[in-house]
């Protein structure tokens, strides 16, 4: 398994994050936010393959490109259509769905599930293309702690943060990988075979596994042959105030995270402006990365109030606290 990602959009413009989780058998594609122009560099085929859209919040710089996404997939039937966002997402997106003329829809089908995430749970609404998205169907509410969805190869978690309005911070976590030590098979007098997959996949260690007619303890075999490798993880943090309470909360959630994609709206000298607008500055972002013992910090969502020289100064501010900080690899900031 592996996690790959692309940060979409240019510096000082709208940005988004496209994550691909490859299990070896399939690829889950997850889109985080959908700013104006962010999908221009993404192929039509890959947009069609996006499994879930996760919105941090509904300010226009994070949903300005939604119409293009929706135009590509509005009648998609080969997979479910899921959108996640903070409280109020379904109401706003209902207006977006209805913001077009639908007169050829009666023979079409496409179901959209929009999930409003709050601290106490998730409320889901269903919208149908064959109804011209006219009716918001209540699909009920489910209680959650932080995990929103289990995609098999990975899970997606959300934390509700404060941007003067709820804004969601997301973490994608690969599940642990089970690997068989082939070299130890001979020492046990065993040969490779289809039973190895059963050994890897079966978590019930009380079972007996029959190999060539001979029963073996599943627990003993797993202890001797199987090693568990932790999966990778990536976090998406944007548009919320990073006060002491937020740092205390997130430093636990992000502990040991592989990659953190985080906004860099303001430089440290503009902390008062950042607080007024419920945004972050580079210093506290880097300190959060240091406290969380993450592997890599990638800064994005840069304010266009600054020029390229100031952006590089902001990167230096962050690196002074957390050295493994960078801008997206595809960005060329002179």
Q: Could you list the active site residues?
A: 61
The C-alpha R_g of the chain, in whole angstroms, comes to 23
Place of tokens 């994070």: 62
Alpha helices (H) along the chain: 44-48, 60-63, 66-73, 89-97, 195-201, 218-225, 244-253, 271-276, 282-292, 308-321
CA–CA gap between residue 194 and residue 175 (Å, rounded): 22
Q: Where are the beta strands (DSSP E) in the chain?
A: 2-8, 16-22, 27-32, 52-54, 81-86, 111-118, 121-128, 137-142, 147-150, 154-162, 166-174, 177-180, 208-211, 214-217, 226-229, 233-237, 259-263, 296-300, 325-326
What does the block give as tokens for 214?
Answer: 């001979």
Q: Work out the end-to-end distance of the chain between its first and last CA atoms, rounded to an integer number of angstroms.
A: 35
Place of tokens 């003993």: 220
CA–CA gap between residue 226 and residue 213 (Å, rounded): 21
């Amino acid at each position: 398994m592996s996690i790959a990602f692309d940060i979409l959009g240019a510096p000082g413009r709208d940005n988004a994050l496209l994550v691909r989780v490859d299990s070896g058998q399939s690829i889950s594609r997850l889109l985080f936010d959908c700013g104006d122009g962010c999908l221009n560099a993404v192929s039509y085929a890959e947009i069609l393959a996006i499994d879930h859209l996760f919105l941090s919040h509904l300010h226009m710089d994070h949903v300005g490109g939604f119409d293009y996404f929706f135009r590509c997939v509005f009648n998609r039937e080969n997979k479910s259509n899921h959108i996640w966002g903070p409280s109020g997402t379904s109401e706003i997106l209902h207006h977006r769905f209805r913001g077009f003329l639908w007169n050829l829809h009666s023979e079409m089908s496409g179901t959209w599930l929009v999930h409003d995430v709050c601290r106490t749970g998730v409320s889901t609404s269903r919208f149908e293309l064959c109804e011209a998205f006219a009716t918001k169907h209540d699909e009920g509410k489910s209680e959650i702690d932080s995990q929103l969805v289990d995609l098999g190869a990975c899970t997606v978690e959300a934390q509700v943060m404060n941007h003067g309005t709820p804004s969601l911070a997301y973490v994608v976590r690969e599940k642990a990988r089970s690997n068989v030590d082939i070299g130890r098979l001979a020492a046990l007098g065993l040969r490779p075979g289809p039973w190895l997959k059963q050994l890897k996949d079966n978590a019930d260690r009380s079972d007996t596994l029959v190999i060539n007619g001979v029963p073996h303890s599943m627990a003993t075999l797993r202890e001797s042959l199987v090693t568990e490798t932790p999966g990778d993880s990536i976090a998406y943090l944007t548009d919320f105030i990073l006060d002491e309470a937020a740092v205390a909360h997130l430093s636990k959630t992000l502990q040991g995270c592989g990659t953190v994609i985080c906004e860099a709206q303001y430089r440290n000298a503009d902390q008062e402006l950042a607080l007024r607008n419920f945004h972050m500055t580079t210093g506290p972002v880097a300190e959060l990365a240091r406290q969380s013992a993450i592997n890599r910090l990638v800064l994005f969502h840069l304010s266009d109030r600054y020029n390229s020289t100031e952006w590089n100064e902001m990167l230096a501010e962050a690196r002074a606290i957390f050295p493994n900080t960078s801008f997206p690899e595809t960005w060329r900031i002179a």
